[in-house]
Amino acid sequence: MGDLPSLSGVRTLVTGHTGFKGSWLCAWLKHDGAEVAGFSLAPEPNGEPNLFEAAAIAKGMRSRIGDIRDFELVERDFREFKPEVVFHLAAQPLVRRSYRDPLATFSTNVMGTAHVLEAARRCGSVRAIVCVTTDKVYDNKEWVWGYREDDPLGGADPYSASKAAAEIVAGCYRRSLLPLDAGRVALATARGGNVIGGGDWSEDRLIPDIVRFINAGRPIILRNPGAVRPWQHVLDLVGGYVILAHRLLAEPAKAADAWNFGPGRENEVDVERLARSFVKAYGVERAHIEIVPSALKEANFLKLDIAKSTMLLGWRPKLGFESTIGLTAQWYRGFHREGLAAGGLVSRQIGTYLELNG
């Protein structure tokens, strides 16, 4: 795996493995030689492809379908698989959906996280947990500088508030509940930026929406074109998760904390620039963009300070803005226009990324 640490032979459990990031993480871990299991809801039957099925992610791993809101089911899965490392990604991840169904968002993201952490605490095999949250856990003041890990948590919308609450739950386990078991389990939270990459077909996500508009020959609709986000390729983020897990195993006292994983400053661009750059990289000569403002509250400016992860974990983003857009457009173009297999595209892009770390 180049100069990246390896989890080869380690029993790893990924919650949310049927999702976009979870699928890429499982593909990475299998490529690394880890023994991988997943626990998640089934992919939503929305009539579109999903990366988990399209890329046959379940092949070569143990895949269980279940709801993290069912504690007995979660605990049983932990007892049966006996993982050493847990990556907790299962969540309701969509801001606009959180407005439509706040109760499901809170029950999944807050109580679901508590269920996973409690099951890990009771399972004698677990040594390290990477609890994945988001950059939206911070109380957003629309600052021009990046948020640091010790800045106040908050959230104006139900999704952001639920993930900030998940951070508080994780902090409680790290400081109070896990030490009761003689510090056997090291727990860290990972806060990532706006993740893009091939194989995301989620609703209300910018790149998937753009691909849908292009493929349908329709104008591209942007809700908040001036909003600046830290756009990050999924492989930079997955690499950060793996580095953090490895460090939790090697130096638990130092790594058990909150960590930001964001892109370099050149990737902090507004929505409209991202859209136009992607359209160009996808190979579309003409694409009409329409601005349709959203009535729902969304932050206009948000980015992360990644100095702590860079200095103390040795992690740094490898992909600049053009590379991030290029790899993402290449994946969708290969799948939709060239008829290439999703699994092969995932494998090749993991290989390409790892060459950067060789």
Mean pLDDT by 10 residues, the chain (358 residues): 81 98 98 97 85 97 98 98 98 92 98 98 96 95 89 95 98 94 93 93 89 88 85 96 97 96 92 92 82 63 91 95 97 96 97 85
Do 75 and 121 meet the contact criterion of CB atoms below 8 Å apart? Answer: no
92 close to 162: Cβ distance less than 8 angstroms = yes
Phi, psi of 181 (to 5 degrees): -100, 35
Question: What is the structure's pLDDT at 228?
Answer: 84
- Given a contact cutoff of 8 angstroms between Cβ atoms, the answer to whether 40 and 18 are in contact is yes
Q: Is there a contact between 312 and 254 (Cβ–Cβ < 8 Å)? A: yes
pLDDT at 299: 58
CATH code of the domain made up of 11-196+230-267+301-319: 3.40.50.720
The predicted structure's pLDDT at residue 298: 59
Residue with tokens 């269980």: 64
C-beta separation of 169 from 162 below 8 A: no
Rounded Cα gap, residues 352 and 346, in angstroms:
10
Helix axes 271-282, 321-336, angle to 10 degrees: 50
Write out pLDDT tens, residues 171-191. Answer: 999 999 999 888 899 999 999
Which amino acid is residue 348, in one-letter code? R
Please list the alpha-helical segments (H only) found in 173-270. Answer: 206-216, 234-250, 252-255
> 105 and 159 in contact (C-beta within 8 Å)?
yes
pLDDT for the residue 65: 97
* Domain boundaries along the sequence of the chain: 11-196+230-267+301-319
Classify burial at 72, counting beta carbons within 10 Å of its beta carbon; exposed 0-12, middle 13-18, buried 19 or more: exposed
Rounded to 5 degrees, what angle do the CA atoms 263, 21, 67 make? 140
Residue with tokens 């980015």: 303
Residue 300 confidence (pLDDT): 63
